[in-house]
Copies of this chain bind each other. A is one copy, B any other.
């Protein structure tokens, strides 16, 4: 039984116009009784949205708060930054700013991009496990030809290496590409499709295959991402003198370090994607502000906090984000507000993705330090009471 509800208005001539957007808002109002005066209020040019969305009918106005300044000592991001954060969670911007202030007092955050890859993972199924194993060896021997076929589809993407995993007669390949300043999920999909077609034309034995065997692992956190990176693997680290922490946060580095032991056990006990405090908050806020794919919070929020208490009670604090997926080109990065947010960070366009990754990683470190200190200093709940009144 097909739904009898009316179909959403579409325009055959031009589905990206003010007219059809307004028509859809009217449609919603007729169907649901709800007028959309806010959703219909925007200055994002509609014609620019082709390629970003279908059935456009308005915008969500996500409030932006300004955090910072934050001193970043990166290889790509080097200087003081004001970070635009989109959120509706009271205290979040204030808390991140507080962490940034502490880190500034410690000389800033050092950031390092360790590696950067985007994946697509086809799977090949054979008559038996031996044929599957043979195929694996064949792929290794033909890497250059496969690379050529894949790269013929893109001027930017480069095939770096192919991981292989065999389970029974299935051979999962995980293609790793560099994708310049794009996140690159589609780029690598197209390139891997071409690679698979080349394989199909050249492999002598029979098999079946699919473009995704579910180990990409696209839009999903996974242990594989934590190990092997998806997007940018980036580290933010800083050394915090005990006196500075005591003065600004009201806790000692020893207290933080002891709590780190407890948090690590908690993370192992619950098997959490991140043994830190709340990386997802900072990541989601900057992602929305800067036109990133917000669903990638799933992958990107994974993290590993590693700390050391020095003999002088200085505290080395780091967080490694193994699968932070960022783009400064393509996707939502070119839209009106999103591009402005990127430009204010000096992060729009070519050659900027690693810079943005460094800024986000530094932001995450600031947020974790602030929240962790607040929990221990006992002002966590009270600050939410004061600043987050809309948050029941």
Contact = CB atoms under 8 A, between A and B. Distances in A.
Give the one of A55, A182, A226, A376 with max B CB within 10 A: A55
Given A169-B237, A227-B269, A330-B391, A274 B51 contact: no
B295 A55 contact: no
A288 B294 contact: yes
B340 A280 contact: no
A211 interface: yes
A245 interface: no
Nearest to A275: B268
A187 B392 contact: yes
B220 A272 contact: yes
Interface in A1-47: 1-8, 24, 27-28, 31-32, 34-39, 41-44
Interface string A60-90: 1111111111110001000010101011111
A275 B294 CA distance: 20
Enumerate the 6 nearest inter-chain pairs by beta-carbon distance, A residue then B residue, closest first.
Answer: A88-B332, A214-B266, A38-B336, A51-B390, A5-B80, A5-B69
- In this complex, the member of A55, A88, A92, A380 whose beta carbon has the largest number of chain B beta carbons within 10 angstroms is A88
Given A34-B343, A114-B129, A381-B211, A52 B90 contact: yes
A210 interface: yes
24 contacts: A8-B69, A34-B343, A50-B390, A54-B65, A54-B91, A55-B66, A56-B63, A57-B84, A58-B64, A60-B62, A60-B338, A110-B130, A165-B227, A167-B306, A168-B237, A169-B306, A180-B392, A183-B392, A214-B262, A217-B266, A219-B277, A261-B306, A294-B294, A330-B390
A246 interface: no
Contact of A41 (B42, B57, B311): B42
A215 B266 contact: yes
A186 B391 CA distance: 6
B123 A262 contact: yes
A114 B46 CA distance: 41
A142 interface: no
A281 interface: yes
Copies of this polypeptide in the complex: 4
A165 B269 contact: yes
A217 B270 contact: yes
Contact of A381 (B170, B193, B289): B193
Contact of A167 (B94, B304, B337): B304
A141 to B, nearest CB: 16
A39 B130 contact: no
A375 B211 contact: yes
A64 B59 contact: yes
Contacts of A35: 340
Contact of A298 (B59, B298, B329): B298
Given A3-B69, A297-B280, A112 B90 contact: no
A267 interface: yes
B210 A375 contact: yes
A192 to B, nearest CB: 9
B69 A63 contact: no
Given A224-B269, A334-B390, 16 more contacts: A3-B70, A52-B390, A55-B65, A55-B66, A59-B61, A60-B341, A169-B306, A179-B392, A182-B392, A215-B272, A217-B272, A220-B273, A220-B279, A227-B270, A281-B295, A294-B297
